[in-house]
Structure 1
Amino acid sequence: MNSTRSQAVVTTSWDDGHRLDPRLAALLEKYRIPGTFYIAPRNLEIEPADRLDSAGIRDLSERFEIGGHTLTHQRLPLISEQEAAAEIRDGKAELEEIIGAPVTSFCYPRGEYTPVHVRQAGEAGFSLARTVERSSLDPGAPMELSTTINAYAHRVDGPLALRLAGKKPWTAAKLYLEWDELAIRWFDLCLERGGVYHLWGHSWEVDARRDWHRLERVLAHVADRPDVTYADNRDIPGLDS
């Protein structure tokens, strides 16, 4: 990405393919914010009854970008190269059969990958691949896309919170303890500096932590800004080739 960019861009992405994804999608629609839903259609980490079914995936695809997330959400570095290639390829094929359209964005399960998997994703036909790297307004390379903020309070973010708070302890404590405060601070920095503000998370995690009000607060804060470009992941402008 060109470091001289002054335009602020907002994108969001949501992982796994859970039955609660439509609730999250409704919030995005309420605030007219695009999103990419990365779905593993046979995710082994989600009980079958809690997976988003084919009808739900098709419905989401009419309003949002659908991205690949492997077939069964395997941790790619822990399986063979051949198995990883099949997971990446077969997950894409199944999603494309469900929605009847190309799937060109991918997310590495748990953010775990090696250069081999970057190559395999490209060979499978993906032109973008998202990681779980956070705390950046520069998305970086298309096949190792960084993010800004996760909809989850990470307890390793103390030094980051202190830095973003200008070393003001009380402000830092708030940013550290409340991820929505941190998310809002990052967006305000994006308005000042330009760049890509990328919010991501999991609908099931937002629900488990009873954080729907926090998510809605963040979406309301970033929405409807006349000087901001809103895009799903595949349409982020200015990515390096």
Structure 2
Amino acid sequence: MPKVLMTFPEGKFKVLTMSYDDGKAADRKLVNTFNKNGIKGTFHINSGLLGTGDRIPGEEIAQLYRNHEVSTHTVTHPTIARSPKEQLIEEFVEDRKNLEKIVGYTVRGSSYPNGSYSSFIKNLLPYLGIEYSRTVNSTGNFAMPDDFLEWNPTCHHNRDLMKIAEDFVNLHKKQYLYMMYVWGHSYEFDNDQNWHVIEDFCEYIGNREDIWYATNIEIVDYVKAFQHLKFSADSHFVYNPSAMSVWLSVDEKIVEVKGGEQVELTKKTTALL
């Protein structure tokens, strides 16, 4: 039986994702910083607050975040663990509807406003079309989540970001998959007058050949595509019923399993270098 392991696209074993809340004006500068360094982010937005105060207006959303992901953050940003279920449904579903009209694609993710959630809310979200939701509970590690509806980030950007980034870049054991997940609010850089923190980080960690730069939903979709692969009982071949490619390490050779195709894993395959 061959030794088969999941990898990230093109055989990579590290992924970086960024997550920023509230859709305020400082997102413009943050998005530009991400774009310059080939980094992707997910931006969690309250559609009921668009254009109020210093928040990005609705007509700017699609263009500003076009290389990234727009995700729900509820319509009005309540402390949802204290909200009745009727309000919960409206806060998430209406936020999805409003954002989808703006960006033109299905909005399937979330971050918990004020970090507030409960087991009831977690169980409710899939019925509202939400496939993942980020907490504010930083772990300090690079583990992949085992519960996307309680997705704990690695760190807030104000907590030893460069030290953690250096540890992440230096990871080399390919028997593991590593994820660095950074979260925060872009306006904090204005408040703390420390834009150099994120700019130095992005310049250091961006545009690297061995890191997959992904939005939150891209990670979710990829992991689910791997989980949906149909392996033979002896793992000698595999069928991919999804539309996207999945990459595998097969006896330490990288094999691409394209969407809709069946691949022999024990015959000679062309490894990606």
TM-score band by shorter chain is 0.7 to 0.9
Instruction: Kindly name which structure, 1 or 2, has the bigger radius of gyration based on alpha carbons.
Output: 2
Give the TM-score normalised by the residue count of structure 2.
Answer: 0.71
| Structure 1 residues 11-160: aligned runs within 5 Å | 11-43=17-49, 48-134=52-138, 135-140=140-145, 141-153=147-159
CA distance, structure 2, for counterparts of residue 233 and residue 147 of structure 1: 11
What's the CA shift for 1:119? Answer: 2.2
Partner of 1:219: 202
CA distance, structure 1, for counterparts of residue 119 and residue 17 of structure 2: 25
Letter of the structure 1 residue corresponding to residue 178 of structure 2: G
- CA RMSD, 1 decimal: 2.5
SS in 2 for 1:181: helix
1:209 is the counterpart of 2:192:
yes
SS in 1 for 2:130: coil
1:8 is the counterpart of 2:14:
yes
What's the CA shift for 1:78? Answer: 1.7
What's the CA shift for 1:233? Answer: 0.6
**Alignment length, in residue pairs?**
213
Structure with bigger strand share is: 2
Cα-to-partner distance string for 1:67-100 (whole Å, 9 max, x where unaligned):
0000011110122122122111111111111222
CA distance, structure 1, for counterparts of residue 127 and residue 183 of structure 2: 25
Letter of the structure 1 residue corresponding to residue 115 of structure 2: G
CA distance, structure 1, for counterparts of residue 62 and residue 14 of structure 2: 30
* Identical positions, percent: 26
Cα-to-partner distance string for 1:169-198 (whole Å, 9 max, x where unaligned):
xxxxxxxxxx33333244236555641111
Say which is worse superposed, 206-215 or 137-146, in terms of deviation: 137-146
* Unaligned stretches of 5+ residues in structure 1: 154-178
Partner of 2:168: 187
* Unaligned stretches of 5+ residues in structure 2: 228-273
SS in 2 for 1:119: helix
Question: Do the aligned residues in 2 keep the contact of 1:139 with 1:147 (CA within 8 Å)?
Answer: no
CA distance, structure 1, for counterparts of residue 65 and residue 201 of structure 2: 23
Question: Do the aligned residues in 1 keep the contact of 2:51 with 2:57 (CA within 8 Å)?
Answer: no
What's the CA shift for 1:238? Answer: 3.3
Give the TM-score normalised by the residue count of structure 1.
Answer: 0.80
SS in 2 for 1:49: coil
Partner of 1:166: none
CA distance, structure 2, for counterparts of residue 211 and residue 94 of structure 1: 33
CA distance, structure 2, for counterparts of residue 23 and residue 233 of structure 1: 20
Cα-to-partner distance string for 1:5-35 (whole Å, 9 max, x where unaligned):
7811111111111122111100000101011
Letter of the structure 1 residue corresponding to residue 162 of structure 2: E
Letter of the structure 2 residue corresponding to residue 26 of structure 1: N
CA distance 1:190–1:205, shift in 2 (3 Å): farther
SS in 2 for 1:137: coil
1:235 is the counterpart of 2:218:
yes
Moved beyond 6 Å, runs of 4+: 3-6
SS in 1 for 2:209: coil
Cα-to-partner distance string for 1:114-172 (whole Å, 9 max, x where unaligned):
0111122211111121112212312311211121111124xxxxxxxxxxxxxxxxxxx
Question: Do the aligned residues in 2 keep the contact of 1:183 with 1:218 (CA within 8 Å)?
Answer: no
